[in-house]
Amino acid sequence: MGSILGAIMSKAVAIIGAGEIGRAIASILRRKKISVRLWDVDPAKVRGMKPIKETLAGTTAVFLCVPSWVLRAALRNVRPLLPRTAVVVVLSKGMEGKSKKTVAELLPDLLPPRQKWALLSGPMLAEELEQRRLGAGVIATANREVFQTLATLFRGTPLKVEWSKNPSAVAWAGVLKNVYAVGLGIADGLEWSWNAKGWFAAKALEEMHEIFDHLGFHAVHAAGVAGAADFLATGFSPYSRNREFGERIVSRGECEFKSEGCISLPSVVARLGAKTVRRFPVLHALSSVLIHHTDARKTFTKLFSGA
């Protein structure tokens, strides 16, 4: 393992996607004197950006900081240029609409057969990381050496990382926490009290546990950093796009930007089945508002009253 650790600290790391989280990860690594190469489909986002072939050449880790709905396209461009020994780290937290697969289910199909990969998930609000404030992440990989290698990158930084051997569970945690975070945004838009929002958060976490049990995952993943911690950070933070999306649905009747939670919800419903979704009142209410466009105030009032 020592040779791999030495290589990853001395050679370049590539970050594909120069949005908020991509730039935040870049800042963290650069403060450790790690060479970082940023690339984005929009050249205006990266000063002096090199072609993608040069960006990836000789890298030991490639971070994909793109939304789930463009992950397939991003990997289509990246795959033929990936160094064979590079570790691919994906931060997307959603489900692909067409295939209805999580990121953990997509990667084995989209990457070269022997390419090492991991998910990085958890409460990592980019604005806070940029301010050198604390964050927490789960590196999800079945390969202990991959975890140790990536953990070395973040050692001594404000981003605390831990290991999960179960990328599938971590991927589902990221999907569900975004869906339920939209609900807290709706509650904000409806000007619910903190008491009511506390009730909503408790019910959402309860449903996440039950859904994990239904899917055959241990509930510890729903209660952990990639699940409960990320849900609470995302659902209550003013920086969260998922929370803001829900709030704007109430105030404007629509939202001009996409959110992972709203994009993933139809796939979640399809994977669980409509009959199963009705067992989960909060998830059912969210699907009513976001998919079937029922009135948010009436739907959430009914949810809270238990009618």
Specify whether the CB–CB gap between 100 and 271 falls below 8 A. Answer: yes
For every residue of 185-226, DSSP letters joined together read HHHHHTT--HHHHHHHHHHHHHHHHHHHHHHT--THHHHSII
Question: Rg (Cα) of the chain, in Å, rounded?
Answer: 19
Amino acid at 147: F
CA–CA distance, 168 with 178 (Å, rounded to integer)? 16
Q: Per the annotation, does 126 bind a ligand? A: yes
Q: Per the annotation, does 17 bind a ligand? A: yes
Specify whether the CB–CB gap between 246 and 189 falls below 8 A. Answer: yes
CA–CA distance, 217 with 203 (Å, rounded to integer)? 19
Residue ranges covered by each domain of the chain: 2-165, 168-305
pLDDT along the chain (307 residues), means of 10: 54 94 97 95 92 95 96 94 96 95 97 96 96 97 96 96 97 98 97 98 98 93 94 95 93 80 95 96 97 95 89
Q: Per the annotation, does 30 bind a ligand? A: no
pTM equals 0.94
Selection from 275, 294, 274 nearest residue 285 by Cα: 294
Specify whether the CB–CB gap between 289 and 249 falls below 8 A. Answer: yes
Specify whether the CB–CB gap between 88 and 117 falls below 8 A. Answer: yes
pLDDT at 101: 97
Q: Record the tokens describing residue 89, joined without a space.
A: 């780290």
CATH of domain 168-305: 1.10.1040.10
pLDDT at 4: 52
Q: Per the annotation, does 93 bind a ligand? A: yes
Domain 2-165 falls in which CATH fold?
A: Rossmann fold (3.40.50)
Strand 116-121 versus strand 36-39 pairing type: unpaired
Q: Record the tokens describing residue 206, joined without a space.
A: 């309860």
pLDDT at 254: 72
Q: Looking at the DSSP assignment, which residues form a beta bridge with residue 118?
A: 89
Amino acid at 176: L
pLDDT at 6: 57
pLDDT at 219: 85
Which residues are known catalytic residues? 177
| SS3 of residue 228 by DSSP | helix
Q: In the sheet that 87-90 helps form, which strands lie side by side, from edge to edge?
A: 36-39, 13-16, 61-64, 87-90, 116-121, 135-140, 159-164
Q: Per the annotation, does 189 bind a ligand? A: no
